[in-house]
Amino acid sequence: MARYIARRLLWVLLVVILVTFLTFLIFFVIPPVDPAILFAGRAPSARLIEEVRQSLGLDHSFWAQYGLFVKRIFLGDQYGWPGFGMSFVTRSPIRENFLSRTWVTGQLALGAAVVWLFLGVFIGITSALKRGRWQDRASMGFALFGVSAPVFWLGLMGLYIFWEKLHWLPGTGYVSFSEGPSQWFLHFLLPWVVLALLFAAFYARMVRGSLLEAFGQDWMRTARAKGLSERKVVYKHALRASLTPVVSLFGADLGTLLGGAIITETVFNLPGLGTYVVRSVQNGDLPVIMDVVVFASLAVALMSLVADILYAFLDPRVRFS
């Protein structure tokens, strides 16, 4: 098992390097904007542009710049380890901004993950147990809605109904836990629910399908033949067997979300990684783009690894000896 993990970690590293290299390359080949001109202001002269280019470190060759980037990631820079570099926009170290935004996105993603996991599994189980009855139809109707409704629409509707009209919720923005636990919770509630809805719907369908498939398995019959209670049969046997696809998907989904839930963050004005990287792309803020790309690809790769390990833990048939 340890060897397996070690091998996978090596792959993770390789993937991250590849992804960052491609991103770097894309930035230079088809840049969203030329930062040298953008940061030269309203009336950029050739000399001014050249000065800006120098100040941003863009006057070195592509390989030299990439080399510097790799170096700062692995060895750190003058601001510490790991080296986050300096933002073109703020002209100050990226570290603080990056960490605080990662923290916000992390809270958003994890909270939503808890909601969608419970909601999705609960609805999926209900649906499978009450197959064909009104609970099933209602649940699958909800699933269709959740999958179809665009996040931004849900978010705006949610704000309109619960903040502007009903005054039940406090509205957009981020309040840290230390500033007030109840405000923190109320501010996150709608973003969590809105973000989770899509996934919950999807997972509900998946759990339902998985469970129904499990119900048709021979070992279900054996479990009942042993005289186990129906509750044990469903939750210990059937559910256990249907959770493995959920685990795999969950790893990938959470990993992706950790890289930034752009639309949710924008609608609810949460200072997270998603809006950070989008604005950085618009501004051509290369160091930030690269930092977020490293983090996001790392998150996806590592979460997938965790999911795979968990999968092996759940299903002994796939374990490596």
Nearer to another protein, 63 or 320 (CB): 320
CB of 242 to another protein, least distance (A): 11
Beta bridge partners of 93: 86
CB of 165 to another protein, least distance (A): 5
Residues 6+ away with beta carbon under 8 Å from 166: none
Nearer to another protein, 241 or 254 (CB): 241
CB of 256 to another protein, least distance (A): 20
Nearer to another protein, 197 or 294 (CB): 197
CB of 304 to another protein, least distance (A): 21
User: Residues 241, 227: contact at Cβ < 8 Å?
Assistant: no
CB of 306 to another protein, least distance (A): 19
User: Residues 290, 23: contact at Cβ < 8 Å?
Assistant: yes
CB of 225 to another protein, least distance (A): 4
Handedness of CA 191, 113, 304, 75 (dihedral sign): positive
Look at residue 285 and give its three-state secondary structure: coil
Structure-token pair, residue 162: 């619960």
Measured distance CA(242)–CA(128) in Å, rounded:
12
Measured distance CA(222)–CA(58) in Å, rounded:
68
Look at residue 271 and give its three-state secondary structure: coil
CB of 13 to another protein, least distance (A): 30
User: Residues 261, 155: contact at Cβ < 8 Å?
Assistant: no
What is the DSSP annotation of 240-284? HHHHHHHHHHHHHHHHHHHT--HHHHHHHT---HHHHHHHHHHHT
Nearest CA among 250, 286, 304, 321 for reference residue 39: 286
CB of 269 to another protein, least distance (A): 5
Nearer to another protein, 249 or 314 (CB): 314
Nearer to another protein, 6 or 132 (CB): 132
Of the chain, the end-to-end C-alpha distance in Å amounts to 7
Nearer to another protein, 13 or 161 (CB): 161
Q: Calculate the alpha carbon distances from 316 to 78, 152, 158, 212, 244 in Å.
A: 48, 41, 43, 21, 11
Structure-token pair, residue 154: 């849900």
Nearer to another protein, 9 or 96 (CB): 96
Nearer to another protein, 7 or 91 (CB): 91
